[in-house]
Chains A and B, each alone.
Chain A
């Protein structure tokens, strides 16, 4: 059974709309992350959360907002969608999320296409 669940697997949106990408992890981890993967940037870090607190944000645009309602949830809200936002978005988790060498566990991704 997958330990990190991302929903939906595929998502098509129109320019200017808003979407929420869902992520739940069942590994008992305390840290969660969002990454983006596109043809332009193979694997791009976006956010990290540890114990439901934002630890790092490398996303320049405020259109991307993570939402953590529970320790094992980290959703990603994207507003005012643009075609350039088309990418596969991966959720990941790790045991603690502190600085240092933790192994990341990834979900299978949500492929977003913005028309």
Chain B
């Protein structure tokens, strides 16, 4: 079945550090890939999405590129801020599903 793997359960960085959160997926065809962010006390919200190979999604300084060759959609940000502290979820939507397939989430902690 389809799946999403986020290898980092938690990432701790200092302000202005470079961020990478890894996301790998397993699905047939061309699933749509998403990054959602969840701030404390809130529900997840869409950060951005991508639907085809080599498409780059971006928002608020975060970006990820759909890579069908490596089945990856890694989240990156050049310089993190304390306000970026949140849980980040990678997800995919395959054509046959009524529901998103979610990764396990990565908690980002920014040390002031």
Contact = CB atoms under 8 A, between A and B. Distances in A.
Contact of A58 (B34, B36, B99, B104): B99
A92 interface: yes
Contacts of A109: 42-43
Contacts of B46: 103-105
Chain A interface mostly: loop
A12 B75 CA distance: 37
Interface of B: 31-32, 34, 36, 41-46, 49, 51, 87, 89, 93, 95-100, 102, 104-105
Given A99-B97, A100-B93, A42 B49 contact: no
B102 A56 contact: no
Contacts of B31: 101
Contacts of A51: none
B27 to A, nearest CB: 12
B43 A92 contact: yes
Chain B interface mostly: loop
9 contacts: A33-B99, A42-B89, A43-B44, A43-B105, A99-B95, A104-B46, A104-B100, A108-B41, A108-B42
Interface residues of A, number: 25
A47 B22 CA distance: 28
5 A-B pairs closest in CB distance? A106-B43, A101-B32, A101-B93, A42-B105, A56-B98
A97 B98 contact: yes
Nearest to A111: B41
Contact of A99 (B34, B89, B98): B98
Interface string A81-115: 00000000010100001111111111111000000
Contacts of A99: 95-98
B54 to A, nearest CB: 17
B98 A48 contact: yes
Contacts of A101: 31-32, 34, 49, 51, 93
Contact of B95 (A4, A100, A103, A104): A100
